[in-house]
Amino acid sequence: MLIGEQPGDREDIAGRPFVGPAGRILDRALDDAGIERRSVFVTNAVKHFKHEMRGKRRLHKRPNAHEIERCRWWIDYEHAIVRPVVTVAMGATAARSLFGRVVPIRKMRGKAHQLPDGLSAFVTVHPSSLLRIPDAADKEHEYRNFVADLRRAKNGIE
């Protein structure tokens, strides 16, 4: 199970998570990690697209703590229904929703964590963060780290 932040503009229109630019990075990273996307349940911590209008464009706004908490029951139900062997929280919003508190991404990244139901969870960056890295070498380095995180999650269940 992969958990992202919230739908983006394209995801909101399509009604499916990770179909925009971040979704293309996620698809490539899953492939590079040896994980078939169709074998993974993909969802978002916040179910609505929070945005502000700039002319005719809808620009992303980060969900606040209240919105994350109000949507947390969805993640709890999805987790209970899907019963994934491992869950990956991608980004701070997803991690907060999964663990019920603010968690330090850098500190928790790369290690398996046990959830209250006994299942394993991993924390990594959100693929959209890779889109904002201006330097090509830095972007490639962070992409490789993201793929390594996905491999760790995959290997944690094998």
**pLDDT over 60 at 156, yes or no:** yes
Mean of the per-residue pLDDT values of the chain: 91
Contacts of 33 (CB under 8 A, 6+ apart): 147, 150, 151, 154
DSSP code at position 37:
G
pLDDT at 158: 46
Lowest mean per-residue pLDDT among 54-63, 80-89, 145-154: 54-63
pLDDT tens per residue, range 7-43: 877 887 888 899 989 999 999 999 999 999 999 999 9
User: Domains of the chain by range and CATH?
Assistant: 2-155 (3.40.470.10)
CA gyration radius, the chain: 15
Report residue 64's pLDDT band, with 50, 70 and 90 as the boundaries.
confident
- CB-side exposure of 32: number of CA atoms within 13 Å? 15
Scored b (16 or more CB within 10 A) or e, 90-109 reads bbbbbbbbbbeeebebeebb
- Percent above pLDDT 90 for the chain: 70
